[in-house]
Amino acid sequence: MLFGGLGVASTAALGLGQTGTAHAGKREDEPSIDFDLDTDNYLKFLGPSDDTAGESINQDVFGAMDITTFLWLNRITAIAAFDAAAPYHETAVGIYAKIKRRPAGESATNRNMNIAGLYAGWRVWQGVFGESRPAVRQFMTALGLDPDDQSEDTTSPVGIGNVVGKAAWNAHKQDGMNFLGYEGGRRYNPRPWGDYTGYVPVNTPYELTHPSRWQPQLGPHNGRRVGGGPGDIGIYVAQHVVTPQVRRVRALTFKDPTQFKISRPDFIDHRDRRRFRRLVDGIIDASAGLTDEQKVIAEVMDNKRWGIGHSAVHLLNKHDQNGEQGIPGWAFFQLVHTLATFETTIAVWHHKIKYDAVRPISAVRYVYGRRRLTAWGGPGKGTVNDLPAEEWSSYLPTGDHPEYPSASTTVCAASAQAARLYFGEDTLDWKFTVKKGETRTEPGLVPGKDVELHFPTWTDFTKVCGDSRVWAGVHFQETIDRSRPFGDQFGDLANDFVQRHIKGQVKS
């Protein structure tokens, strides 16, 4: 995501007096950064590095597992980046702002494309955050740009950026997500991001009256994120389904989420006691057999900026060893990836709300009650054999939305399929090491030694991504097996949509 690495990597240079062409001629007291508008690529520069994978300037407000929220923003910034690059490309046509093609000489260096892209992203971010992200303003100032320049002359890169950024923002600020808080007919006291669809769970956190249906969990205010996060200590809160209204968000790659079918989760039926118990036993067995490597992978995949996001960044870097992709290539693939990942959630949430299926944490406690289990006993406990089922918990926090289908699995599949189609191969070859003791659930303890992870292909990545949800205790295996193939089609749709715009095969 544009500016995604800013604040955790790139802004380390700000105010440290680093030298570079970006600050030539500026006053000594102004911030500087080592970025060349003529030769560097703003999308590559501002993205996370391998060392900061999974981190974001927005991690204080967006949970790393909350894909419907931060991917909603990613989609808008990716559209703006695409539309900013399109006028400088030989065939591309923008999504919203279809600005006339600029003379080839204007893209002889990266300067104009960098400037247009930065202003485009800044206008989107101003719409979402106002002035609450000063690092972005500081970054632009360090490059000698005026963040307050609102000019809209589409023969200049500043004007192009302003026009496309505002167009993308205006198209999506009331797209069904309820960012402004007035959707559903509300006139007063807006509730930004709030549900307006009327979803109400049939169970309460205190009583599972419908054992096959989703039950909100009761947990600490600061307990939503892996390892804990922002929140008030000592305060417990009930879960609410995350953004039920996302199923009403306007998609670019399809018309209606109801057109995508996935079979009813007939395996989640407490009335079929034998089958339901087998389902639960699969979760307990996975919990009892948790390895350090499985715990590490589960955390990587739960952090959607890391597992799903950085895998795409890795692939772009792999195909850009000598700058072959250029700014257009980065903008084009990032839009493919972002449409594949976010728009999948529109259809996934349609089915999550439709089927409203119970999560493993409720099912385990329902089936076994006070009986003792052999399972993971909590941070630092390892596998124990005297765990009361009513005290069983998943390795990762259980997401605050229904079981079926699995969003993580479906989005992983969509992302992988989009990448295969765009680059024409299944190869991923993503390798990295998680150091000893660096998990968040069991910091200092797990892993017991450095763990090297390698995902040779997107096929391998997709399988492990889904399986990790079972290891973590947050999804049933049958859910994973049905979610993988459901996700592929969204990768197809995203790539097809973007390719038509790259080739100019749309109305301009």
Pairwise CA distance, residues 58 & 71, whole Å: 12
Supply the pLDDT for residue 403: 99
Q: Three-state DSSP class for 452? A: strand
Fold exhibited by the domain 258-503: Vanadium-containing Chloroperoxidase; domain 2 (1.10.606)
In order along its 508 residues, the chain shows pLDDT tens digits of: 555 545 444 444 444 333 334 443 444 555 578 999 999 999 999 999 999 999 988 888 898 899 999 999 999 999 999 999 999 999 999 999 999 999 999 999 999 999 999 999 999 999 999 988 888 899 999 999 999 999 999 999 999 999 999 999 999 999 999 999 999 999 999 999 999 999 999 999 999 999 999 999 999 999 999 999 999 999 999 999 999 999 999 999 999 999 999 999 999 999 999 999 999 999 999 999 999 999 999 999 999 999 999 999 999 999 999 999 999 999 999 999 999 999 999 999 999 999 999 999 999 999 999 999 999 999 999 999 999 999 999 999 999 999 999 999 999 999 999 999 999 999 999 999 999 999 999 999 999 999 999 999 999 999 999 999 999 999 999 999 999 999 999 999 999 999 999 999 998 6
- Where in the chain is CATH 1.10.606.20? 258-503
What are the start-end ranges of the H helices in 319-404?
326-355, 360-368
The candidate with the shortest Cα–Cα distance to 311, out of 412, 410, 396, is: 412
Pairwise CA distance, residues 42 & 355, whole Å: 43
pTM score, two decimals? Answer: 0.94
The candidate with the shortest Cα–Cα distance to 173, out of 138, 222, 234, 124, is: 124
Cβ(397)–Cβ(219) below 8 Å: yes
Residue 426, Cβ neighbours under 10 Å: how many?
15
CA 378 distance to own-chain centroid: 27
Cβ(161)–Cβ(148) below 8 Å: no
Pairwise CA distance, residues 124 & 324, whole Å: 27
Supply the pLDDT for residue 249: 99
Range list of β-strands (E), 222-306: 236-238
Q: Identify the helix (H) or strand (E) that includes residue 412.
A: helix 407-423
